[in-house]
């Protein structure tokens, strides 16, 4: 069945190249003994070589390091202790990248390895640096293989799962399409493992309510995701107008079939999301974790939503959370519906003192005035109702550096 995928990946823009981010799950890339599956990598390599020749640029986000490390170390099962998991990742990443390098080389492709942590997205400077590196590698037609830097990632700086990591990369490089290859054929109406009535969803809009319902929590032993994180990742990229395909990595020539729009799988259509928001706002929206909530009165909500105004202290009714100047906060209605996100000019302690006041009273209340607005409109992004299951990685982020 032909898919109704929007992007025309048949006709590559030869200058920029049509960009695909392909996330490959642990269960696809390792075999039942947890060893890296060279046959799978070989199949992917020949497909990607074909795609590259046709002007497509591919970035691979590959899981599998921990599983491969467990295999290499001769352990019977995935350890629980963090330091053991990190050691396994260190060992396994070598086997993984070695296998990719070998198979891609056979197909005439040069590979690069990029290991990333949440901090590389939440710090604006590091984000811009890594984005520039990705651009260079893409322009040089190098096949980039990305994984989380599991060996150094602690809870605070961890992205946590490669679905989210891959979505972050897709937004950073403005991918044309985001592909998640997993051990399932796609999204089902019910859990296909436990229900015989489960139907494959071929195509669905990212705002469709069904998506929230199908977010099953199925986990494989080594993968951290499950369908829930895949849907969350699809929502993340959809904000920038990028469609997602979830398909089986075991289907023969799946990437080539996706290119010809003739594949079995689920397409999550981005709808008409805002592809034109500035790069800085994209970064804010997708890569920093909100530190607090501001509950606003109806006047303030109207000013934000209808007139694209800045947020003034007078419209704030209640404040939740602890945050510093420059942190990302969420603006809510009194019923708890999120309407906007933005970088705040005041800390939570300061905001408590000035909420409900006119801007002219800030100086009297604090003894100084940073800015008349609590959030300037340039640092504010309005949110559609589909935002509720929001992403946000990189818990360490605080200051907007630019």
Stretch that binds ligand GLU, among 61-69, 193-201, 322-330, 361-369 (CB under 6 A): 61-69
Stretch that binds ligand GLU, among 6-14, 146-154, 202-210, 296-304 (CB under 6 A): 146-154
Closest approach, Cβ 155 to ligand GLU, in A, equals 14
Stretch that binds ligand GLU, among 197-205, 220-228, 312-320, 380-388 (CB under 6 A): 220-228
Report the residue number, 90 or 128, with the smaller CB distance to ligand GLU.
Answer: 90
The radius of gyration of the chain from alpha carbons, rounded to an integer in Å, stands at 22
If binding is defined by CB under 6 A, does position 120 make contact with ligand GLU? no
If binding is defined by CB under 6 A, does position 148 make contact with ligand GLU? yes
If binding is defined by CB under 6 A, does position 161 make contact with ligand GLU? yes
Closest approach, Cβ 153 to ligand GLU, in A, equals 9
Binding mask 76-95 for ligand GLU (x = CB under 6 A): -------------x------
Q: Residue 361's CB: how many other CB atoms inside 10 A?
A: 14
8 A C-beta contact, residue 290 and residue 392: yes
Per the structure block, which two tokens stand in for 163? 């679905």
| CB contact burial 229-247 (16+ within 10 A = b; e otherwise) | bbbbbbbbbbbbbbbbbbb
The Cα–Cα gap between 113 and 287 comes to: 22
User: Helices 124-139 and 279-287: crossing angle, nearest 10°?
Assistant: 110
Residue selected from 63, 270, 286, 386 as contacting ligand GLU according to rule CB under 6 A: 63
116 DSSP β-pair partners:
148
Q: Residue 15's CB: how many other CB atoms inside 10 A?
A: 7
If binding is defined by CB under 6 A, does position 168 make contact with ligand GLU? no
User: CA angle 127-133-137, nearest 5°?
Assistant: 145
If binding is defined by CB under 6 A, does position 224 make contact with ligand GLU? yes
Closest approach, Cβ 65 to ligand GLU, in A, equals 3
Report the residue number, 222 or 295, with the smaller CB distance to ligand GLU.
Answer: 222
Measured distance between the N- and C-terminal CA atoms of the chain, rounded to whole angstroms: 46
Residue selected from 118, 186, 192, 225 as contacting ligand GLU according to rule CB under 6 A: 225
Residue selected from 118, 186, 192, 223 as contacting ligand GLU according to rule CB under 6 A: 223
Query: Concatenated DSSP letters for 317-346?
Result: EEEES---TT-EEEEE-TTS-EEEEEE-SS
If binding is defined by CB under 6 A, does position 64 make contact with ligand GLU? yes
Binding site for ligand GLU (CB under 6 A): 26, 63-67, 89, 147-148, 150, 161-162, 223-225
């Amino acid at each position: 069945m032909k898919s109704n995928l929007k992007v025309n990946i048949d006709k590559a823009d030869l200058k920029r190249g049509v960009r695909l981010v392909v996330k490959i799950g642990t269960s696809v890339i390792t075999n039942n003994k947890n060893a890296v599956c060279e046959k799978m990598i070989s199949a992917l390599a020949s497909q990607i070589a074909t795609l590259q020749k046709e002007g497509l640029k591919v970035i691979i986000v590959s899981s599998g390091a921990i599983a491969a490390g467990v295999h290499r170390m001769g352990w019977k099962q995935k350890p629980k202790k963090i330091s053991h998991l990190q050691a396994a990742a260190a060992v396994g990443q070598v086997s993984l990248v070695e296998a990719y390098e070998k198979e891609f080389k056979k197909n005439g492709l040069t590979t690069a390895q990029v290991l990333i942590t949440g901090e590389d997205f939440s710090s604006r400077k590091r984000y811009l640096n890594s984005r520039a590196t990705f651009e260079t590698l893409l322009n040089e037609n190098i096949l980039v293989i990305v994984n989380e830097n599991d060996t150094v990632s602690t809870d605070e700086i961890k992205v946590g799962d490669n679905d989210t990591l891959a979505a972050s990369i897709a937004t950073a490089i403005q991918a044309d399409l985001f592909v998640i290859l997993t051990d399932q054929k796609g999204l089902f109406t019910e859990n296909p493992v436990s229900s015989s009535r489960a139907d494959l969803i071929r195509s669905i809009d990212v705002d469709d309510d069904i998506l929230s319902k199908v977010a099953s929590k199925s986990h494989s032993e080594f993968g951290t995701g499950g369908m829930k994180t895949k849907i969350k990742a699809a929502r993340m990229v959809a904000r920038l107008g990028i469609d997602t395909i979830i398909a089986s990595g075991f289907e023969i020539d799946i990437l080539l079939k996706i290119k010809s729009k003739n594949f079995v799988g689920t397409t999550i259509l981005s709808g008409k999301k805002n592809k034109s928001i500035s790069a800085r706002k994209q970064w804010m929206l997708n890569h920093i974790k909100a530190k607090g909530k501001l509950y606003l009165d109806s006047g303030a909500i109207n000013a934000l939503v209808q007139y694209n105004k800045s947020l003034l202290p007078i419209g704030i009714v209640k404040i939740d959370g602890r945050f510093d100047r420059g942190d990302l906060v969420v603006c809510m209605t009194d019923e708890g519906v999120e309407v906007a996100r933005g970088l705040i000019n005041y800390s939570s302690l300061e905001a408590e003192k000035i909420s409900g006041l006119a801007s002219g009273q800030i100086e009297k209340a604090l003894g100084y005035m940073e800015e008349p607005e609590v959030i300037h409109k340039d640092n504010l992004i309005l949110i559609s109702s589909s935002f509720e299951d929001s992403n946000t990685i990189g818990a360490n982020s605080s200051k907007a550096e630019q």
